[in-house]
Amino acid sequence: MYRYDEFDHTLVAERIATFRRQVGRRLSGDLTEDQFKPLRLKNGLYLQLHAYMLRVNIPYGCLSTRQLRKFADIARRYDRGFGHFTTRQNIQYNWISLAETPDILAELASVEVNTMQSSGNCVRNITADQFAGRARDEVEDPRPWCELIRQWSILHPEFSYLPRKFKIAVSGAPVDRAAVKFHDVGLYLRRNAAGEVGFEVIVGGGQGRLPYVGLTIRDWLAKDDLLSYLEAILRIYNLGGRRDNPQKARIKVQVNALGIDEFRRLVDEEWAQIKASPLLAVPAAEIDRISAYFAPPAWEQITDEAGLLVRQDAASAAFAAWRRANVVAHRQPGYAIVNLSLKATSMAPGDLTADQMDAVADLADRYTLGELRVTHRQNLVFTDVRQKDLLAVWEALDKLDLATPNIGTITDIVACPGLDFCALANARAIPVAQQIGRHFQSAAALQDVGELSINISGCMNACGHHHVGNIGILGVEKNGQEFYQLTLGGSSGADASLGDRLGKGIPAAEVPPAIEAIVGTYKQLRNPGERFLDTYRRIGLEPFREAVYGPDAGRRREVA
Amino acid sequence: MTTVVRDGRLQDDAFVDASGQDTLPAAGPVIVSLAQWQAGRDGLLARGTPLGIRLQSDQSPALVAGDLGHFAVVALEFPKYRDGRAYTHARALKERLGYAGEIRAIGDVLQEQLHFMQRCGFNAFEISGPDPERAWATVAGDHTVWYQATGDGRARALDLRHPAGRR
């Protein structure tokens, strides 16, 4: 993975020194909270319901065991012994003291991690497919390009005060594991007709109050043109994005107001002026330097262990269920990709204790090559496990409660922190996720239902990405009570779609029975082997609405 | 008389900002609004004094591209520090429209923004707060490494990594 050189180290150290001074000015009263807010946000520090929250970047989801141990260390020394992995490949600490924050940033910098631009109206953490460099279906590894974009975006002199936040995701594979179409800019590495690898560029996707599936602004962009094209998009957005209303300030609103063709025309006009600029040219030597950090590791020359795994499956149904749900094919023979489920019912989705972090780091050092990944569905990944070690890895993960065989299933729930932590939330998200988790606990039930994503957001800001859950759950508040609105049919994949609203909100206690009714309807009406999403797309909302609200649901809805 | 920070030092400013006024001072350097310039271009030129123009953040310098030679100062307004449009305007002035005079940051100009402003081409600053010179001195050493190139000629980190490939 990427390592800082002297320039990266200096840049981060200078940034921390500046922030230390700013924190000092805030603590002495020299800065008001209003003046301090944008400064702290640019360093990932939020003020939440109970305390400061610190959001730490895990660029494009890549993490070393050394870094994970540092996360554990910080959780113990500066927080309450745990951290929360988010949908944007960040880790968040929820109980941070302002005065200690500069020290935490210095600790993070010692392992080449930073919090720069993890918040604020600027380009945020660059995210990517968690299987980058290991997936069998990959056109090319997206990570070198992510790193190039990361550097271009950090402390950009012109684009540090954008109308609103700006999120970029990159996928190197046609199967989209990075929700590319729900980012301000999304990039797919693609081959053109001549066989050259470049980027399909998507713009204007997003969730929140105004969800949009991103649109293709350019079918194919040469790699050499990446920075100039991004700069053109950012410039058009910086000048033309709305600044009168934060709810309407994202690029998706600008793209929608202008229409994609007019937006494309503006970008192309701007791009024509800077395409050949030496200010944006990247020498091949720099691409080579960055790419070298992502070269395939020293895999052993071994072969697949089909026979052994079949025997191990036969000996343990639990191992077999875990392998089926949580283990993914690796591009290198004899190896496997292992998902660690952070969705046991014992914990909040995406949470990991400091002890678990240390134990996971030990396992990664023992059974993989010392690296792991963070996924946008709030799980972790071991990228390089020898197939012959899978049984031992499973046993160890099971002891840590990280082997729930539920990746991609109904209990692999994405949830925001919700009203338990967040100042913006209208309703709790974590307890709802845990209720559903307990309701569908058995491995047999999970296997029977198969691929089905549930996403829960505690408010319209949609941090739990409810719009793109196959089943989306949105918490709302009515007369001081929490209600939950369900949506069906969302997808964050290459076949991206927004969920359709099922009906009026229901109380928390009715959510698990409603999910059960939806799943029951699916099981009844599905064709053999058909995923929930495909069944829904075939039969539509009505059978599910009836199952949840009763046969006279249509009439009642009109009265309501 | 207003004061402006140039090259890190607080200096008296000869210009009178008349952009919000109905009548201009009879003589001396003035800064006018885009509307004043468009309505009274000939009269302003006939004054024979140095001129400046003040542009709001939604007024592109391209609107006065042909007239830039008449201005000793282009003052770009930050109505709120959060409004980042003037960074793009400053780069356009310096890097695209060939303007070589003073680009002045006015409005909600905080010390934390000075580095970004400088890199985008601003070279004069009306800094908010009681002690602009101290504000400048405080942040002067904050950044020695940059990942981006602008028209100010500073090398990017990647240029320093690959000296042979430098512009």
- HEC string of A394-424 equals HHHHHHCCCCCCCCCCCCCCEECCHHHCCCC
Residues A164 and A267 in one domain: yes
Tell me the average pLDDT across A85-90. 94
- Neighbouring-strand partners of residue B104: B75, B124
**Which tokens go with A481?**
């009570």
Q: pLDDT of A308-352, one tens digit each?
A: 999 999 999 999 999 999 999 999 999 999 999 999 988 889 999
Does residue B159 belong to any structural domain of this protein?
A: no
Question: Of A261, A291, A321, which closes a domain?
Answer: A291
Write down the mean pLDDT value for chain B.
93
Domain boundary among A399, A433, A462: A399
- Extract the tokens encoding A243: 């600044």
| Pair (A139, A67) in one structural domain | no
Share of chain A above pLDDT 90, in %: 90
Give the CATH number for residue A100.
3.90.480.20
Residue A201's Cβ-side half-sphere holds a number of Cα atoms within 13 Å equal to 21
- Across the interface, whether the CB atoms of B85 and A238 are under 8 A apart is answered yes
Nearest to A14 among B112, B120, B142 (CB): B142
pLDDT at A557 over 80: no
- Same domain for A324 and A374? yes
B79 located within any domain: yes
Q: How many domains does chain B have?
A: 1
Query: Which of A463, A472, A379 lies closest to A89 in space, CA to CA?
Result: A379
| A52 C-beta neighbours (distance < 10 Å), count | 18
Task: Give pLDDT tens digits for B120-160.
Answer: 999 999 988 888 999 899 998 899 999 999 999 999 999 99
Average per-residue pLDDT in chain A?
Answer: 95
Dihedral of alpha carbons A24, A30, A32, A35, sign: negative
Mean pLDDT on B2-25: 91
Mean pLDDT across the stretch A401-405? 96
Answer yes or no: is B81 within a domain. yes
Q: Which helix (H) or strand (E) holds A457?
A: strand A454-457
**A153, HSE (Cβ side, Cα atoms, 13 Å):** 29
How far from each other are the two terminal CA atoms of chain B, in whole angstroms? 43
CB–CB of A286 and B158 under 8 A? Answer: yes
- Residue A298, in any domain of the structure: no
| Residue B154 sits at the chain A interface (C-beta within 8 Å) | no
Q: Is the pLDDT of residue A155 over 90?
A: yes
Pick the residue from chain A with its C-alpha nearest to B150.
A279
Would you say residue B164 has pLDDT above 90? no
A248-290 confidence digits (pLDDT tens): 999 999 999 999 999 999 999 999 999 999 999 999 999 999 9
How does residue A445 score in pLDDT terms, banded at 50, 70 and 90?
A: confident
**pLDDT computed for residue A37 by the predictor:** 92
Q: Is B155 on the interface with A (CB under 8 A)?
A: no
Q: Which of B81, B143, B161 sits opposite A286 (nearest CB)?
A: B161
Residue A289 with chain B: CB contacts under 8 Å: 161-162
- Preferred mutation among A151, A158, A287 to probe B, highest tally of B CBs within 10 A: A158
- Contact across the interface for A157 and B148, Cβ inside 8 Å: yes
Q: Is residue A122 part of a domain?
A: no
- B153, part of any domain: no
Asked whether residue A509 is assigned to any structural domain, the reply reads: yes
Per-residue pLDDT tens over the stretch A230-244: 999 999 999 999 999
Query: What is the ipTM score, two decimals?
Result: 0.96
A147 has a pLDDT exceeding 70: yes
Is B70 within a domain? yes
CA of A36, closest CA in chain B: separation in Å? Answer: 10
What pLDDT does A560 receive? 40
Does the pLDDT of residue A3 top 50, yes or no? yes
How is A150-209 classified by DSSP, letter by letter?
A: HHHHTT-SSSSS-SS-B-EEEESSSS-SS-GGGSSEEEEEEE-TTS-EEEEEEES-B-TT
Determine contact: B144 vs chain A, CB below 8 A.
yes
Is residue A444 very low, low, confident or very high in pLDDT (cuts 50, 70, 90)?
confident
Tell which residue, A550, A198, A141, A167, has the closest CA to residue A383.
Answer: A141
Structural domain harbouring A82: 6-109
Question: Tokens 């109206």, residue?
Answer: A121
The closest of A498, A544, A507, A500 to A522, measured between CA atoms, is A544
Residues of A in contact with B154 (CB under 8 A): none
| CB contacts < 8 A (A, B) | 108
Which residues of chain A neighbour B116 with C-beta distances below 8 Å?
Answer: 155, 157-158, 160-161
Domain housing B111 = 3-142
Give the largest Cα separation in chain A, rounded: 69
| Cβ-based interface (< 8 Å): residues of A facing B | 5, 7-8, 10-11, 14, 17-18, 21-22, 35, 38-39, 121, 151-152, 154-163, 235, 238-239, 243, 273, 278-286, 289
In terms of domains, do A76 and A168 share one? no
Sheet holding A185-191, edge to edge: A127-128, A168-171, A185-191, A197-203, A215-222
B142–A5 CB contact, under 8 Å:
no
**Subunit contact B145:A154, Cβ cutoff 8 A:** no
- All residues of chain A having their beta carbon less than 8 Å from the beta carbon of residue B82 are 38, 121, 161, 243
Is B154 inside a domain boundary?
no
Q: Rounded to whole angstroms, what are the CA distances from B37 to A493, B58, B60, B97? A: 53, 16, 14, 18
The answer to whether residues A390 and A418 belong to one domain is: no
Which distant-in-sequence residues (6+ apart) come within 8 Å of A101 by Cβ? Answer: A19, A23, A40, A43, A45, A52, A54
Surface-to-core class of residue A347, CB atoms within 10 Å of its CB (0-12 exposed, 13-18 middle, 19+ buried): buried
CB contacts, 8 Å: B81 with chain A: 38, 161
Instruction: Tell me if B160 is assigned to some domain.
Output: no
User: Among A148, A129, A164, A142, which residue's Cα sits nearest to residue A234?
Assistant: A164
Contacts of A151 in chain B (CB under 8 A): 147, 157-158
Top residue of A279, A280, A290 to mutate, by most chain B CBs within 10 Å, is A279
**Distance between B82 CA and the closest CA of chain A, angstroms:** 6
Q: Are residues A314 and A373 in the same domain?
A: yes
**Tokens 């030990």, located at residue:** A362
Of the candidates B110, B113, B145, the beta carbon closest to that of A14 is on B145
* Rounded Cα distance, B61 and B89, in Å: 6
Q: Domain check: are A13 and A141 in the same one? A: no
Q: How far is A22 from chain B (nearest CA, A)?
A: 9
Domain tally for chain A?
A: 4
* DSSP H or E stretch at residue A60: none
Nearest to A39 by CA among A106, A121, A104, A157: A121
What's the token pair of residue A277? 């600029």
In a domain, B118, yes or no: yes
CB contact under 8 A, A11 and B145: yes
Q: Does one domain contain both A210 and A264?
A: yes
* pLDDT attached to residue B1: 60
Mean pLDDT calculated for residue range A523-532: 96
DSSP category for residue A393: H
Contact A215, A255 (CB under 8 A): yes
In tens, the pLDDT along A293-308 reads 999 999 999 999 999 9
CA–CA dist A271, A269 (Å, integer): 6
Q: Which residues of A touch B115 (CB under 8 A)?
A: 157
Helices (H), A401-531: 430-439, 443-449, 511-525
Q: Which of A231, A234, A123, A128 lies closest to A189 in space, CA to CA?
A: A128
Q: Quick one: pLDDT at residue A559?
A: 42
Torsion angle defined by CA atoms of residues A116, A122, A124 and A126, in that order, rounded to the nearest 10 degrees: -110
Q: Is residue A64 part of a domain?
A: yes
Quote the tokens at residue A245: 């209303």
pLDDT at B166 over 60: no
**CATH code: domain of residue B14:** 3.20.20.70
Q: Phi and psi at residue A386, in whole multiples of 5°?
A: -65, 135
Of A219, A217, A211, nearest to A252 by C-alpha is A211
From the list B84, B161, B165, which residue is nearest A5 (CB)?
A: B161
Residue numbers in B near A283 (CB within 8 A): 158, 162, 165
pLDDT band at B167 (very low <50, low <70, confident <90, very high): very low
The verdict on A419 and A443 lying in the same domain is: yes
pLDDT score for A92: 96
Confidence of residue A553 (pLDDT cuts 50, 70, 90): low
Domain boundary among A242, A258, A291: A291
Residue A422 has a pLDDT of 86
CA distance B101 to B90: 11
Q: For the residues B83-102, what does the mean pLDDT come to? A: 97
Same domain, A201 and A239: yes
Rounded Cα distance between A427 and A417, Å, is 10
Top pLDDT among A104 and A417 is at A104
Instruction: Count Cβ atoms below 10 Å from residue A514 Cβ, excluding itself.
Output: 21
Are A431 and A474 part of one and the same domain?
yes
CB contact under 8 A, A161 and B81: yes
Residues A67, A111 contacting (CB under 8 angstroms) = yes
Q: Same structural domain for residues A326 and A446?
A: no
Q: What is the pLDDT of residues A6-26, one digit of tens each?
A: 999 999 999 999 999 999 999
Average pLDDT over every residue of A18-40? 93
